[in-house]
Chains A and B, each alone.
Chain A
Amino acid sequence: MDINTQFKKGVLELCVLALINKHDRYGYELAEAVSKHIEVAEGALYPLLRRLVNEGRCTTYLQESSGGPPRKYYKLTPDGLEYAKEMIAAWNAFVASVTELINEGEFPVQ
């Protein structure tokens, strides 16, 4: 497993929280929205979503779709919203620190 895969696994939760925060989404929609920005195995999404529901960060509701199976929408709970805010703040701080550190290292810019 390359480093990039590990990074992606770590931030997948953050991406999903950010996406659901914008509006309620169903699984396939989430997969598409994430894949647009980062290449990730879509199969990892469902265990993540299940965990978020079990931890009380999300709730789900079903909505019938014409022809196809009902769509299972994911919605942030107040607790989930709080959690998403914390995660995003922590992420921003983390990225800023790492960027600063790399700059201090004065790596040659390619």
Chain B
Amino acid sequence: MNKQEYLSALRAYLAPMPAQEREELLQDYESHFVFGMDNGRSEAETARMLGEPLVVAKEILGPGFQLLPSQPPKKDIARLIGVTIALIFLNMVALPLLVSLWAVFVSICAVATFGCLSLVVLLVEQLLYGDATTAKLFVAIGSTGVGLLAAYAIRFYLTEWIVKLTLWYARWTARTWVGRT
């Protein structure tokens, strides 16, 4: 490796550094080569004595800096295809399950809404048609109880559970598909 090759390799590795500091250091290394020549060392010899540019760059940057990879990591196409196929099959099962869970949730919401409103409905029926009976009243009271219970469950448990479950599943799918880095 000659002087030019050595310095340009080092410059490339030191890219994360502030420019001014980097140029100052490179000046030091360039001078080192010149002084080496004055003392009868060849450029290759000086390069060898300095140590691999990568090792020197690591020394300079310290643990705080990540060395830039010489080439961007390649995408693993085979893995991507495999995971995509697996996820398609998984989703054929999981998505309908998730949808039906949401359907159950929506129907519980409906139960809660109309349960709570059943006394009002009875009142409207009485006002419009005048055919309310004691039996209907008891049914309406019962429905209100069920509605309130459902509303309580929705408010404090069900909404949180189903939203969490959906988000978790979405995130898991996305992460699996992209692949952990």
Contact partners of B32 in chain A: CB under 8 A: 27-28, 31, 42, 46
Q: Does A105 contact B (CB under 8 A)?
A: no
Which residues A2-43 have CB closer than 8 A to chain B? 26-28, 31-32, 35, 41-43
Q: Does B59 contact A (CB under 8 A)?
A: yes
Determine which of B27, B31, B38, B56 lies in contact with A43 in the assembled complex, contact meaning CB atoms within 8 Å.
Answer: B56
Evaluate contact between B51 and A43: CB separation under 8 angstroms.
yes
Evaluate contact between B38 and A68: CB separation under 8 angstroms.
yes
Determine which of B25, B27, B38, B56 lies in contact with A41 in the assembled complex, contact meaning CB atoms within 8 Å.
Answer: B56
Contact partners of B29 in chain A: CB under 8 A: 43, 46
Q: Does A69 contact B (CB under 8 A)?
A: yes
Evaluate contact between B30 and A69: CB separation under 8 angstroms.
yes
Which residues B28-77 have CB closer than 8 A to chain A? 28-32, 34-36, 38-39, 49-51, 53, 55-56, 59-60
**A14 vs B62: C-alpha distance in the bound complex, in angstroms?**
19
Contact partners of B28 in chain A: CB under 8 A: 27, 46, 49, 72
Of the candidates B29, B31, B34, B53, the one having the most CB atoms from chain A within 10 angstroms of its own CB is B31
Determine the main DSSP class of A at the interface with B: helix
For residue B64, give the distance in angstroms from its CB to the closest CB of chain A: 13
Evaluate contact between B50 and A43: CB separation under 8 angstroms.
yes
Determine which of A43, A68, A72 lies in contact with B34 in the assembled complex, contact meaning CB atoms within 8 Å.
Answer: A68
**A8 vs B113: C-alpha distance in the bound complex, in angstroms?**
78
Evaluate contact between B56 and A72: CB separation under 8 angstroms.
no
Which residues A62-105 have CB closer than 8 A to chain B? 67-69, 71-72
Task: Spell out B's residues near A (CB within 8 Å).
Answer: 25, 27-32, 34-36, 38-39, 49-51, 53, 55-56, 59-60
Return 29 A-B CB contacts under 8 Å, by A number.
A26-B35, A27-B32, A28-B31, A28-B32, A28-B39, A31-B32, A31-B49, A32-B39, A35-B49, A41-B56, A42-B49, A42-B50, A43-B29, A43-B51, A43-B59, A44-B51, A44-B56, A46-B28, A46-B29, A47-B25, A47-B56, A47-B59, A50-B60, A67-B38, A68-B31, A68-B35, A69-B31, A69-B34, A71-B35
